[in-house]
């Protein structure tokens, strides 16, 4: 059987199967990461209520924010049949939250424009409503925090806070950012708060910055940014943009809600597309395979598996890193891909676009994906592609493809004695380039690429003789292969 070591996943659309340990991995299944392409343009954890009632609008806005760039906006020009606003999901015991019968600070920031003043009744008021329940529906505490409506328009951002002491543990809690049904004008809400000392729970989606299925963390808006943007995208119109301009020891993360569906012992393809601008560089900072090593000034896709119970406790396993290339300060869109075997007890997974502590520059991340890979058994004999000693090769080598002739796929192996920029291209009998399988900088080692007999545009190529060429700065070799259909 074929046994491949020191393999690296090939970037690009031509890769459809990956050989490993006597089997062929067939790419299959759906993406487990919710909103992995970031195209569901709705806020995380908050839902519009009453939108359109009487012409009211609940808008996930980017025209005003207390911190960063987004806020929860409500516009009402007249009466509505119900209160209008933004209602959170249940945050009481979600993920790392574990609310207890303690004192909580609640409220947040707001800004108004031409709102009704001096409300005479509750229907004319604007504010924050927090509700806490036990046993699902039994109300434990109910707190409304009105904003100041003594003036129609605030000079800037203002705060409205209160404290609530819970007599019992809440298993359900929500916050409702509301304009009463008789309130009018425009209000923005931002940095919604839930806090206690000692810490027991926080507010998900309170900063209004991330789309459905995603969260972010920085040390502060003046320290770094993890943004949801439209200035760059690999696909669609949106991406995650991480920006760091100093070398202070702080991290930036844009991270997914944990996804279920992981099966211990199964293999998963984990990938993301990244574009960089003016990042810190080092000739040694080539793209890595999966590693547990934390490198302070590296940019990466970080992921970790979750044990059972992650919905109500973090239950995460060790961080794993897939470092991007930082050989060049700026790159176009590059796909980074690796294969991971889910460890024992794993039932979920999270992925993170991440700047480690002293990384610098700007990076856009898009099209996050975790897909299960299924085994398809092969029936081939031992081939020269095997690399049994895991040592760095002593010379450049291009290995004969296997099988040859082939239909529909074949494996091409090559060896590098040192870090090199590598191109591996396919040519037809007329000498025309039909596909490029590899075009990147790689470390010394042994590599194996699967070609599926298709061109760079995805067109199935006809039977015939083809040539594959390995080229580096100091080495070029060409070999012949035959596609038979």
Question: pLDDT tens digit string along 415-461?
Answer: 999 888 999 999 998 888 999 999 988 888 888 888 999 998 888 99
Q: Evaluate if residue 305 carries a pLDDT over 70.
A: yes
Question: What pLDDT is attached to residue 379?
Answer: 35
Q: How many CB atoms lie within 10 A of CB 203?
A: 19
Q: Evaluate if residue 188 carries a pLDDT over 90.
A: yes
- Residue 416 CA to residue 446 CA, distance in Å, equals 6
Contact 483, 454 (CB under 8 A): no
Over its C-alpha atoms, the chain yields an Rg (Å, rounded) of 27
Contact 64, 188 (CB under 8 A): yes
Task: Among 227-236, 376-385, 387-396, 441-450, name the one with the lowest average pLDDT.
Answer: 376-385
Question: What pLDDT is attached to residue 443?
Answer: 83
Q: Please give the residue that has the higher pLDDT: either 122 or 12.
A: 122
Question: What pLDDT is attached to residue 445?
Answer: 85
What is the chain's length? Answer: 485
β-pairing, 320-323 vs 290-291, is antiparallel
Over residues 47-82, the pLDDT tens digits come to: 999 999 999 999 999 999 999 999 999 999 999 999
Peptide bond before residue 466 is cis, with ω within 30 degrees of 0: no
List of residues 6+ apart from 327 with CB closer than 8 A: 281, 282, 283, 285, 286, 441
Question: What pLDDT is attached to residue 51?
Answer: 95
- Residue 57 CA to residue 44 CA, distance in Å, equals 18
* CA 99 to chain CA centroid, nearest Å: 27
Contact 363, 229 (CB under 8 A): no
- Residue 79 CA to residue 63 CA, distance in Å, equals 24
DSSP 284: T
Q: Please give the residue that has the higher pLDDT: either 149 or 484.
A: 149
How does residue 380 score in pLDDT terms, banded at 50, 70 and 90?
Answer: very low
- Residue 435 CA to residue 426 CA, distance in Å, equals 5
Q: Evaluate if residue 469 carries a pLDDT over 50.
A: yes
| Residue listed under structure tokens 């991290």 | 251
How does residue 43 score in pLDDT terms, banded at 50, 70 and 90?
Answer: very high
- Residue 134 CA to residue 138 CA, distance in Å, equals 5
Sorted by where each starts, the structural domains of the chain and their CATH numbers stand as 17-22+385-483 (2.60.40.4070), 46-195 (2.60.120.260), 219-376 (2.60.120.260)
- Residue 211 CA to residue 257 CA, distance in Å, equals 11
Question: What pLDDT is attached to residue 2?
Answer: 27
Q: Which of 343, 363, 347 is nearest to 355 (CA)?
A: 363
For range 31-54, the mean pLDDT: 97
Task: Among 126-130, 227-231, 355-359, 456-460, name the one with the lowest average pLDDT.
Answer: 456-460
Q: SS3 for 167?
A: coil
The percentage of the chain sitting over the pLDDT mark of 70, rounded to a whole number, equals: 90
Q: Evaluate if residue 325 carries a pLDDT over 60.
A: yes
Please report which helix (H) or strand (E) contains residue 318, including its range: none
Q: Evaluate if residue 25 carries a pLDDT over 50.
A: no
Q: Evaluate if residue 14 carries a pLDDT over 80.
A: no
- Residue 83 CA to residue 119 CA, distance in Å, equals 14
For range 326-341, the mean pLDDT: 91
How does residue 5 score in pLDDT terms, banded at 50, 70 and 90?
Answer: very low
Question: What pLDDT is attached to residue 332?
Answer: 95
**CA distances to 129, 195, 200 from 100, in Å:** 19, 11, 7
Q: Evaluate if residue 376 carries a pLDDT over 60.
A: no
Question: What pLDDT is attached to residue 391?
Answer: 67
For range 183-212, the mean pLDDT: 97
List of residues 6+ apart from 188 with CB closer than 8 A: 61, 64, 65, 71, 72, 73, 110, 111, 112
- Residue 442 CA to residue 325 CA, distance in Å, equals 10
Over residues 96-123, the pLDDT tens digits come to: 999 999 999 999 999 999 999 999 999 9
Average pLDDT across the chain, whole number:
89
List of residues 6+ apart from 104 with CB closer than 8 A: 163, 164, 165, 166, 194, 195, 196, 201
DSSP 312: T
Contact 360, 322 (CB under 8 A): no
- Residue 177 CA to residue 107 CA, distance in Å, equals 10
Residue 301 in tokens: 């896709």
For range 135-161, the mean pLDDT: 97
List of residues 6+ apart from 354 with CB closer than 8 A: 242, 251, 252, 253, 254, 255, 299, 300, 301, 302, 321
Over residues 228-262, the pLDDT tens digits come to: 999 999 999 999 999 998 888 899 999 999 999 99
- Residue 7 CA to residue 278 CA, distance in Å, equals 30
For range 36-41, the mean pLDDT: 98
Q: Evaluate if residue 12 carries a pLDDT over 80.
A: no
Share of the chain residues as helix, strand and coil, in percent rounded to the nearest 5: 0, 45, 55
Residue 281 in tokens: 């560089």
How does residue 156 score in pLDDT terms, banded at 50, 70 and 90?
Answer: very high
For range 27-42, the mean pLDDT: 89
Q: Which of 74, 47, 48 is nearest to 63 (CA)?
A: 74
Q: What order of strands is seen across the sheet that includes strand 433-442? A: 433-442, 420-427, 464-471, 476-483
Q: How many CB atoms lie within 10 A of CB 405?
A: 13
């Amino acid at each position: 059987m074929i046994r491949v070591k020191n393999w690296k996943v090939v970037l690009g659309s031509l890769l459809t199967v990956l050989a490993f340990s006597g089997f062929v991995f067939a790419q299959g299944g759906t993406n487990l990461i919710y909103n992995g392409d970031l195209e569901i343009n709705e806020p995380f954890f908050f839902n519009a209520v009453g939108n359109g009632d009487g012409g009211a609008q609940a808008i996930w806005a980017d025209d005003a924010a207390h911190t960063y760039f987004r806020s929860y906006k409500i516009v009402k020009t007249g009466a509505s049949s119900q209160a209008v606003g933004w209602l959170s999901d249940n945050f009481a015991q979600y993920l790392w939250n574990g609310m207890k019968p303690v004192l909580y600070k609640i409220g947040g920031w707001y800004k108004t424009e031409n709102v009704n003043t001096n409300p005479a009744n509750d229907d004319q008021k604007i504010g924050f409503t927090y509700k806490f329940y036990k046993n699902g529906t039994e109300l434990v505490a109910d707190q409304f925090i009105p904003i100041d409506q003594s003036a129609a328009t605030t000079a800037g951002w203002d705060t409205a806070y209160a404290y609530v002491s819970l007599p019992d543990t809440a298993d359900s809690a929500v916050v409702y950012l509301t304009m009463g049904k008789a309130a009018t004008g425009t209000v923005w809400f931002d940095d919604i708060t839930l806090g206690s000392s000692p810490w027991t729970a926080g507010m998900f989606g309170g900063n209004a910055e991330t789309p459905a299925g995603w969260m972010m963390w920085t040390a502060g808006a003046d320290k770094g940014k993890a943004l949801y943007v439209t200035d760059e995208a690999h696909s669609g119109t949106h991406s995650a943009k991480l920006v760091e301009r100093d070398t202070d020891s702080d991290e930036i993360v844009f991270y997914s809600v944990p996804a279920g569906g992981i099966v211990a012992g199964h293999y998963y393809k984990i990938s993301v597309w990244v574009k960089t601008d003016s990042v810190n560089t080092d000739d040694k900072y080539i793209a890595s395979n999966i590693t547990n090593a934390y490198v302070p000034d590296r940019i990466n896709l970080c992921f970790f598996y979750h044990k059972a119970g992650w919905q109500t406790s973090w239950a995460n396993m060790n961080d794993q890193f897939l470092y991007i290339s930082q050989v060049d300060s700026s790159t176009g869109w590059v796909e980074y891909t690796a294969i991971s075997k889910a460890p024992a007890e794993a039932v979920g997974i999270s992925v993170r676009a991440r700047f480690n502590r002293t990384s610098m520059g700007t990076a856009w991340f898009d099209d996050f994906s975790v897909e299960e890979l299924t085994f398809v058994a092969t029936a081939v004999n031992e081939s020269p592609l095997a690399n049994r000693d895991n040592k760095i090769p002593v010379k450049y080598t291009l290995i004969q493809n296997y099988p040859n002739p082939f239909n529909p796929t074949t494996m091409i192996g090559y060896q590098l004695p040192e870090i090199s920029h590598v191109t591996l291209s396919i040519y037809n009998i007329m000498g025309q380039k039909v596909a490029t399988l590899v075009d990147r900088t790689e470390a010394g080692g042994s590599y194996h690429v699967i070609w599926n007999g298709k061109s760079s545009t995805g067109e199935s190529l006809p039977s015939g003789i083809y040539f594959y060429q390995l080229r580096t700065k100091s080495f070029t070799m060409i070999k012949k292969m035959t596609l038979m259909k």
